[in-house]
Amino acid sequence: DRGGAAMTTPASSRPVGTGGRAASDAVLVTGIGELVTCAGADGTIAVDAAASVAQRLGLLRDAAVVAVDGVVEWVGRAVDAPAADRRLDLGGRAVVPGFVDSHSHLVYAGDRAGEFSARMAGTPYDGGGIGVSVSATRAASDDELRALLQARIAEMRALGTTTVEIKSGYGLSIADEERSLRLAAEFTDEVTFLGAHVVPPEARADRAAYVDLVCGPMLQACAPHARWIDVFCEPASPHAFTEAEARRVLVAGRDAGLEVRVHGNQLAAGPGVQLAVEFEAASVDHCTFLSPADVDALVGAAGTTVATLLPGVEFSTRSPYPDARGLLDAGVDVALASDCNPGTCNTASLPFVIALAVREMRMTSAEALVAATVGGARALRRGDIGRIAVGGRADLAVLEAPSFEHLAYRPGMPLARALDLT
Ligand code: NIG
Ligand code: FE
């Protein structure tokens, strides 16, 4: 079991998009032509190199699942299924664990379609457009932001995502960061304070003063609403944060009781990955430009720090893809997430991300599926999601397909949706 013991389960955990399910009776989900549990018999994923793909994926044919109040109570062959109060027949479709999107920036107003078009015409990305989203977000009311969040989360569920992490980072004032987190917490337990996304335009004359604000009164106002602290550590961007600045932010966040995750090595090789490893971050995200020493650090941190790859960003910024193959072969824990945001990647589709991972980053379909489920759960230090196993959350994604392989094989097709058991 790689890292399972390190995972913690929050006292309450809600799947994405439900406001808390009413207690229900036992539901038998049957007619599952192919069930990918991502779990071995002992509830962990098989990592034995000799294991077949089916063994590694904990794959069952003609299977069924019994769920009670959103928790898996039984998994096995349909012919052996126990009786239940209700029965849902999926007619031979494939079922996989609901996707765990461990990286998103959903609290924003406005869009930056013009910036995208300019980028496609040759204007490089440097993080400066974040200020445009900050202005639009500050100008929006709570109700407007709440409605936008609700719509975005509904889109995610329609694409098979059942858990989402949501960051702040388009407020960048005490009040606007606090309300971004408060609103995000209405939808998920995985809330991340990203006051150190960029130095906002009005603070550019005195960067140190802005870092003081983030580490002081902003953190104080925000910490009660968040589980995680994150920082955009990217010296290659004039808007993001240096190693020294990022270190201050992470120390302050950790002292305030938040757990650490880091944006690093997106635009150029830099200090992000090694800083994340030093802080025993749950995840370092992007990992697009890595030195051999960064890879070594990530290998040494397996079981603690996950490398979360966000290939939708490389697609939407026309950048080189991270070396997923090299990371996996070296033994790094890898997750896939969307990074859904108005600037670098305005898609929340994990099926699309899986297709990119297979086509562009040479992950196998099985590796990509595991990275978007178990990997995301590890990146959030959650043991109750990302797998279909007794005692875990009954977060299932059903596919309009006979096999999980269709996710990469049929890119862009509407194959996956979160299964509603209520
Ligand atoms: O993860 N890297 C920093 N933040 C986002 C982009 C945000 C934006 O451009 O609005 C990212 O790519
Ligand atoms: Fe991001």
pLDDT tens by residue, 215-242: 999 999 999 999 999 999 999 999 999 9
This prediction's pTM: 0.94
pLDDT tens by residue, 13-71: 555 654 444 556 899 999 999 999 998 644 455 456 667 888 889 999 999 999 999 99
Nearest CA to ligand 1 atom 12: 344
Summarize the confidence of residues 324-347 as an average pLDDT: 98
The finding on whether 311 has its CB within 6 A of some atom of ligand 1 is no
- Residue 290 CA to ligand 2 center (angstroms) comes to 17
Q: What is the pLDDT of residue 193?
A: 99
Nearest CA to ligand 1 atom 1: 339
* 422, burial (CB in 10 Å: exposed 0-12, middle 13-18, buried 19+): exposed
Closest ligand 1 atom, residue 103 Cα: 1
Q: What is the pLDDT of residue 43?
A: 45
The finding on whether 100 has its CB within 6 A of some atom of ligand 1 is no
The finding on whether 130 has its CB within 6 A of some atom of ligand 1 is yes
Summarize the confidence of residues 115-121 as an average pLDDT: 98
Rg (CA), the chain: 21
Nearest bound ligand to the CA of residue 197: 1
Confidence of residue 422 (pLDDT cuts 50, 70, 90): confident
Q: What is the pLDDT of residue 55?
A: 83
Pinpoint the alpha helices (H) of 19-112: 53-57
Confidence of residue 86 (pLDDT cuts 50, 70, 90): very high
Residues with Cβ within 8 Å of residue 329, at least 6 apart in sequence: none
Our mutation pick for probing the ligand 1 site, out of 102, 126, 135, 339, counting the most ligand atoms within 8 A of Cβ, is: 339
pLDDT tens by residue, 178-208: 999 999 999 999 999 999 999 999 999 999 9
Q: What is the pLDDT of residue 6?
A: 30
Mean pLDDT of all residues belonging to the chain: 93
pLDDT tens by residue, 377-417: 999 999 999 999 999 999 999 999 999 999 999 999 999 99
Cβ–Cβ < 8 Å for 63, 398: no
Residues with Cβ within 8 Å of residue 357, at least 6 apart in sequence: 309, 311, 324, 336, 363, 367, 368, 371, 408
